[in-house]
Amino acid sequence: MKVDECPVAFSYGNYDALMKWLVAKNKNQIEHFLPNPKASEKKYPLIWLTDEWQGNEHVPGYRFSNVTFYLACNSKIELLNENREGNFEGLYTLANQFIKELRKYGRIEGESISYQERANLTVTSGKKTEAIDIWDALIVKMDYLIFTNCIKKLCSQ
C-alpha cells in the first residue's frame, strides 16, 4: 500500500456503524466495475474514529480523552507476519501524516500517543461468523485538545 497514491477513507462510530459502512463500501467496490464509478468508492486505507472518547470544555477549546483511531488496510490472511511489514510501514506513514494534520487544529495532550499493531484483524458481522473484511490495523490512541477557533473553521468548511 502506498499512502500517497490513494485517498484515505474516513468515518466514525461504533462497531455496528463500522459493519454497515464496510458492507456499503463492499457494494461500492462491486459498482466500481460498472459505468460511472463514484468518487467515494475507496475503502482503504481507512481511518476509523471509535466512539469511546469523552470530551470536556477546556480553555482554549475542548479536551477529548481516549480518542482512538483505527488506521487499516486490506490484509491477505495467508500472508505471514514478515510479509506484511510493508502494510505497517504504510500505516505508520499514514499515521504521521494524519497526526501532522491534527496538530493544525489542536494539540495532542502530553504528546503521549500510543500505537498498537493488529495483524489479520477479522471484522465479522453480528451473529454470523462470516468475515466482512480482514485488516492489518494500526490502533492510535491519544488525548486531544481542539482549539475553539478551529472548531468554527472546521464547521464552516
Residue type, position 4, single letter: D
pLDDT of 83 over the 90 cut: no
SS in 3 state form for the chain? CCHHHCCCEEEEECHHHHHHHHHHHHHHHHHCCCCCCCHHHCCCCEEEEECCCEEEEECCEEEEEEEEEEEEEECCCCCCHHHHHHHHHHHHHHHHHHHHHHHHHEEEHHHCCEEEEEEEEEEECCCCCCEEEEEEEEEEEEEEEEEHHHHHHHHCC
User: Residue 106 has which C-alpha cell?
Assistant: 489542536
Number of domains in the chain: 1
Burial of residue 1, with CB atoms counted within 10 A of its CB: 0-12 exposed, 13-18 middle, 19 or more buried: middle
- The band of 114, judged by pLDDT with boundaries at 50, 70 and 90, is very high
pTM of model > 0.85 = no
Percent of the chain with pLDDT over 90: 26
Q: Residue 155 has what pLDDT?
A: 53
- The band of 113, judged by pLDDT with boundaries at 50, 70 and 90, is very high
> By residue range, what is the domain housing residue 49?
3-155
